Amino acid sequence: WQQRTSLLPSLTLLPNQIGTILQSWSARTDILLKSRDALNIMELFCAKWNAGEYVEYRHEYLRDLGLAAEVSGESASVNEDARKRRERLFWLDDGRQVYCENHVKLPDGYRMHFYPDPDEKRIYVAYLGPHLTL
């Protein structure tokens, strides 16, 4: 956690959500390792995005770069339910509230929710934990 900005310069891990979780991790180690792998792929994607190799974010690009876990957006049933949608809203450090429907599916029902910012060409990782309400 302490080295996140040097190891993952193109990602922002929200400190109140991700920092708290990572610094007191008590779930299975394989979930943490898969999370690390996903973060490394996201970092690689952002570097290529900023270099102009990609013009937008797409889930397929993460898979093409070697992401072994499934990545997707939310289902219509989640998107259309105000309560479920609210669970996936997160505040960024700059005061913006964003909908983090994109997520990496990790072992044991864990999810990593994130927001790819098209203007900054940066990924904000907002949540890592058990599956949110379906």
The pTM (predicted TM-score) of the whole model is: 0.91
pLDDT of residue 16: 77
pLDDT tens per residue, range 35-67: 999 999 999 999 999 999 999 999 999 999 999
SS3 for the chain, per residue?
CCCHHHHCCCEEECHHHHHHHHHCCCCCHHHHHHHHHHHHHHHHHHHHHHCCCCCCCCHHHHHHCCCCCEEECCCHHHHCCHHHHHHCEEECCCCCEEECCEEEECHHHEEEEEEEECCCCEEEEEEEEECCCC
pLDDT tens per residue, range 6-40: 899 999 998 877 777 777 788 788 999 999 999 99
pLDDT tens per residue, range 111-127: 999 999 999 999 999 99
